[in-house]
Amino acid sequence: MINKKLKFNNAKIITRSPRLETVISVENFIKENSGRYRKTELMNKLPKKIMWGTFNVILKYLYDTKRIGIDKEGYIVYRQQHSL
């Protein structure tokens, strides 16, 4: 997997702090559908509708904590967590 940079543009978008259940829901959806959707497609396929800004906040958090990455074709993939 080649890790491309995700663009979040949070400074230009009205954002809201997501609820923990929303973050977990998005993370679980990505885990179940790893590598199937690009950013906009993923937003549209989520079972619960959220605002674009909130979605970007969640993706930035998941990306910064190395839970997700992006492949060379732009698909969002879930990174398996390794335990010690």
CATH of the domain at 59: 1.10.10
d(CA 59, CA 52): 10
Reply yes or no on whether the pLDDT at 70 is more than 90: yes
In a domain, 42, yes or no: yes
Residue 53 structural domain: 20-78
What's the confidence (pLDDT) of residue 28? 97
What's the confidence (pLDDT) of residue 29? 98
11-67 pLDDT per residue, tens:
666 667 899 999 999 999 999 999 999 999 999 999 999 999 999 999 999 999 999
d(CA 43, CA 63): 15
Position 80 confidence tier, pLDDT thresholds 50, 70, 90: confident
Report how many domains make up the chain.
1
In a domain, 2, yes or no: no
What's the confidence (pLDDT) of residue 82? 57
Residue 67 to residues 11, 12, 24, 59, 70: CA-CA distances in angstroms?
Answer: 22, 24, 12, 9, 11
